[in-house]
A and B are shown apart, each in its own frame.
Chain A
Amino acid sequence: GQQLNQSPQSMFIQEGEDVSMNCTSSSIFNTWLWYKQDPGEGPVLLIALYKAGELTSNGRLTAQFGITRKDSFLNISASIPSDVGIYFCAGQDGTYKYIFGTGTRLKVLA
């Protein structure tokens, strides 16, 4: 099935560093969601974006809805060990169905 491109695929960072990841699509989306998934668990919703150019924060997380509506970005500031996990973007084209990205695997070195 179709999956969105996420970059980077994986990253190792030091605790306290800032993290940036992005998600790109060949299609235009009306809504972007960002999720975090721990091993063996379901994805947990972090941030929802509804409008092109929108910048939304949730604690140390900030996400942006790209102006072209074909991309989205997630930043994590001052990373901590519990930020470890897989981050997924998901785009919706105006129907109820979301297309998910391939995931960015984050590992934080204490």
Chain B
Amino acid sequence: DTGVSQDPRHKITKRGQNVTFRCDPISEHNRLYWYRQTLGQGPEFLTYFQNEAQLEKSRLLSDRFSAERPKGSFSTLEIQRTEQGDSAMYLCASSLTTYEQYFGPGTRLTVT
């Protein structure tokens, strides 16, 4: 049983560019979550999918952010017109129930 995978692990981009991250959840997990973690802080919730439906978006997720999970399997998180404040670790987690969430290794984004 493979865990949650995320790609890429690291991304360096210039301010104003668009970036897209991918998350592949544990195969039987129908729930998928995106979190953002800045240095020295715990993860903060961004958005939640149950199957392909996006059920909640945090206020942290500005209009420049969009997430999809088109077939209820993998998910993508896109950030348009990146800003330096977007620099963070973007974490994906998946779960079978609403309780235990399992995280991937994260994508470290650096906006220069």
Interface of A with B (CB < 8 Å)? 1, 3-4, 31, 33, 35, 40-45, 48, 50, 88, 90, 92, 95-103
Contact = CB atoms under 8 A, between A and B. Distances in A.
Most buried by A among B56, B60, B103, B108: B103
Contacts, number: 65
B112 interface: no
29 contacts: A1-B44, A3-B42, A3-B44, A33-B99, A40-B106, A41-B105, A41-B106, A42-B4, A42-B6, A42-B91, A43-B103, A44-B103, A45-B100, A45-B102, A88-B42, A88-B43, A90-B42, A92-B98, A92-B99, A96-B31, A96-B56, A96-B95, A97-B45, A98-B45, A99-B45, A100-B43, A102-B42, A103-B41, A103-B42
Contact of A97 (B56, B91, B108): B56
Interface of B: 4, 6, 31, 33, 40-45, 48, 50, 55-56, 58, 60, 91, 93, 95, 98-106, 108
A100 B37 CA distance: 10
A44 B19 CA distance: 26
Contact of B99 (A4, A43, A48, A102): A48
B57 to A, nearest CB: 11
Given A40-B108, A90-B42, A103-B41, 6 more contacts: A33-B100, A41-B105, A96-B50, A97-B45, A97-B56, A103-B42
